[in-house]
Structure 1
Amino acid sequence: PGKPLIGLARGITDFSWVCYISELAVCKSAQGLGIGKGLLDEARRQLGPSVAISLISVPDAVGFYERIGMKRMPDAFWFARER
């Protein structure tokens, strides 16, 4: 019927200061094709240059975010999950 979903980006923003990307996912078979970068590029285009994008990366994806030009944030804080 429809086309299969191969990637998604989900975020929350105030459209003024920051957009927090809570999920960026690309199916295994489509990884390495530029889908994730394309999703973030489109988010940046829609948000405009005055809105920052932040996210928390799983350890295995850190290299991807660094390769596409995202910078690590030194001033981040965390309450760990208790379960």
Structure 2
Amino acid sequence: MIDVYKETPFFASRRPVDDMARMTQMFKNSNLVMSAWSENQIVGIARALTDFSYTTYLSDLVVRTDFQRQGIGQKLIEQIQAVAPQAKIVLLAAPQAVDYYPHIGFEKHESAWVKSNKLD
């Protein structure tokens, strides 16, 4: 799965892709992960944390560059939402993806806040 992140330039710079232990913990502690495949190659990942009733935080939505613009990201989001249909989806968009989310039905929210940790 890390190869999908590394192959997508804006994700490779925004996730600790060279820290296998940290990436492993990120996936181990996510309670909802969906993947998209083309034959035997993983081409997309949606990683989320959810309470299954009110909010789903979509922490990662990554699709290999050569598979983008085929609806894979939107399908992964639909699969995440199908598992927790009562929950709204909340996410922080990478700067390169801010135009993508309104296109698929997301609304911009002006009062999100982020406090960075010492590792990032």
Q: Give the structure-1-normalised TM-score.
A: 0.88
Unmatched 5+ stretches in structure 1: none
The aligned counterpart of 1:67 is 103
CA distance in 2, matches of 1:34, 1:41: 11
Deviation at 1:81, TM superposition (A): 4.6
The aligned counterpart of 1:51 is 87
**Secondary structure of the equivalent of 1:8?**
strand
The aligned counterpart of 2:69 is 32
**Secondary structure of the equivalent of 2:96?**
helix
Q: Answer whether contact 2:56 2:87 (CA < 8 A) is retained.
A: yes
Alignment of 1:41 onto 2:78: yes
Unmatched 5+ stretches in structure 2: 1-38
Runs of 4 or more off by more than 3 Å in structure 1? 80-83
Residues matched between the structures, number: 81
CA RMSD of aligned residues (A): 1.4
Higher relative helix content: 2
**Secondary structure of the equivalent of 1:66?**
helix
More contact order relative to length (CA 8 Å, sep ≥ 6): 1
**Secondary structure of the equivalent of 1:5?**
strand
Aligned residues with identical type, % of pairs: 31
